[in-house]
A and B are shown apart, each in its own frame.
Chain A
Amino acid sequence: MTIATARRRHALDLDDFTPEEIEEILDTAESMKEVLSREIKQVPTLRGRTVVNMFYEESTRTRISFELAARALSANVVSFTARGSSVEKGESLIDTVRTLQALGADMVVIRHNQSGAPHLVARHFAGGVINAGDGRHAHPTQALLDLLTIREHLGQIRGLKVVIVGDILHSRVARSNLWGLTRLGAEVTLCAPPTLLGPAAYWTATWPQVKISYKVDEAIAGADVVMALRLQKERMQAGLLPSLREYSRAYAITPERLARLGEKTLIMHPGPMNEGVEIWPEVVTAPNTVIDEQVTNGVAVRMALLYRLAG
């Protein structure tokens, strides 16, 4: 059966993905999971291609996940971090990309603390570019792995009530998930203290259907999925929060809140977690918490995307 949607060169955010293309990638990811379940977790699909992981910001799971995904498809993989590269000598991003192109890179995966860096790279690189997280802007592969995890557990995304709790204002995970979840027909509620959410109109201008809440107990009542976001400790220094304890009391996913949700609500977190701040250790190990599955699904989703961009 042929692929229904048009060829794609880059994956910079989910805003230019149709619902059909997202579903197609999730279907492909499920097939990739079968490959990952084999004794020999490798297929020859991208043999002879070179994928370069450019990580300008620290990352464990995303970088390893992209490396494993590219290797499982038999690509040559080179990863570099800003430390120890010519970046330290002041080489610009554009120069670095030109160098990678001259070295024969076919695809680039980039993580950068500046929003828009992957878009800049895409304009100066002949091959495919995948955004592995840029500033506060986008993290499309995280959103795809979240969608896959939800779909596996709950069957479909349409009609689900999904609540994202935490530092939404600074979160690229929240933004990409908003695109993915709303495209597939979920009902999304954003919940955070006003200082970490901003004015409701800021969100509804782009996603008119989204609901805004400042009270976590009201927001999560009846939710199918609760997604907790990492609270960056810098936010406290910036004066956005009175104290971590205060934040925890008002917004953390605690065992008490978990008990009120029931056993069918999925609890998710993109990691890395601050246990005891936005999520309690007892919640992390609860049966309806799927954080480890999110990590596992990340490899399959990234394989699906690398395949989609190859050609």
Chain B
Amino acid sequence: MTDRKQILTADDIRRALVRIAHEIDERNGGLHDVILIGIRERGAPLAERIAAAIADFEGVRVPVGQLDITLYRDDLRTRGPSARVRKTLIQHDVTDRVVVLVDDVLYTGRTVRAALDAIADLGRPARIQLAVLVDRGHRELPIRADFVGKNVPTSRSERVEVHLRESDGVDQVLISRPA
């Protein structure tokens, strides 16, 4: 049996995303150059929700894209083609824009490293920022988030599971420890 504990409720997630939306606005002195790019899978719905929050308080619709980083992973040789390649869907040119990458959990930083390489292949943004729902620590690369929903100290043996309505039917973040 594993011991699971809820660390974010649906309401916590909603508030965290609204706060991140405001912070993105403040940090960039407005939103006209901002494009939100969710890292697939769970970063994509989070980016949509941040865009919806921005639309609520600013009345503007910022562009949203989805990025698949599978082809940029650094563990193909050791782990094989274990992940499915999904489509990258970014309709807008990222050159000279402020790209805000959105992901569910920031852990080793390797996914973000892959995402930075992927974005660089699509254009030359003015800036790239990172928004995550949960930062659980244990970085293996010099990467940090600009916007964090919740910092959660974890041990490496623990698992952080983000469940979202769009993919899992429910909004919550769980932490589980092997017994």
Residues of A bordering B, CB below 8 Å? 1-3, 7, 24, 27-28, 30-32, 34-35, 38, 40, 42-46, 73, 304, 307-308, 310-311
Contact = CB atoms under 8 A, between A and B. Distances in A.
Interface string B120-135: 0110000000000000
Contacts of B118: 43
A34 B81 contact: no
A311 B76 CA distance: 6
Contacts of B85: 27-28, 31-32, 304, 307
A38 B81 contact: no
Nearest to B88: A34
Given A31-B87, A38-B121, 4 more contacts: A31-B85, A43-B118, A307-B81, A311-B77
A27 B84 CA distance: 9
Contact of A43 (B72, B77, B79, B81): B72
A29 to B, nearest CB: 9
Instruction: Give chain B's interface residue range (CB within 8 Å of chain A).
Output: 20 to 34
A2 B84 contact: yes
A7 B76 CA distance: 12
Interface string B31-45: 000000000010000
B178 interface: no
Nearest to A28: B85
A307 B122 CA distance: 21
A46 to B, nearest CB: 8
B71 interface: yes
Contact of A45 (B41, B72, B80, B86): B72
A73 B89 CA distance: 19
Contacts of A3: 81-84
10 cross-chain pairs, A with B, having the tightest CB-CB distances, nearest first: A311-B80, A43-B71, A31-B85, A45-B71, A28-B85, A31-B87, A1-B84, A40-B121, A34-B87, A307-B81
Interface of B: 41, 68, 71-73, 76-77, 79-89, 117-118, 121-122
A221 B122 CA distance: 46
A1 B41 contact: yes
A198 to B, nearest CB: 39
Given A30-B87, A31-B87, A44 B82 contact: no
Given A34-B87, A310-B76, A42 B121 contact: yes
Contacts of A73: 71
Contact of B68 (A31, A46, A307, A308): A31
A40 to B, nearest CB: 5
A31 B88 contact: yes
Contacts of A34: 87-89
Contacts of A311: 76-77, 79-81
B122 A44 contact: no
Contacts of B80: 7, 310-311
B88 to A, nearest CB: 5
A46 B81 CA distance: 11
Nearest to A42: B121
24 contacts: A1-B84, A2-B82, A3-B83, A3-B84, A7-B81, A27-B84, A27-B85, A28-B84, A28-B85, A31-B88, A32-B85, A34-B87, A34-B88, A42-B121, A43-B72, A43-B118, A43-B121, A44-B71, A45-B71, A45-B73, A304-B85, A311-B76, A311-B79, A311-B80
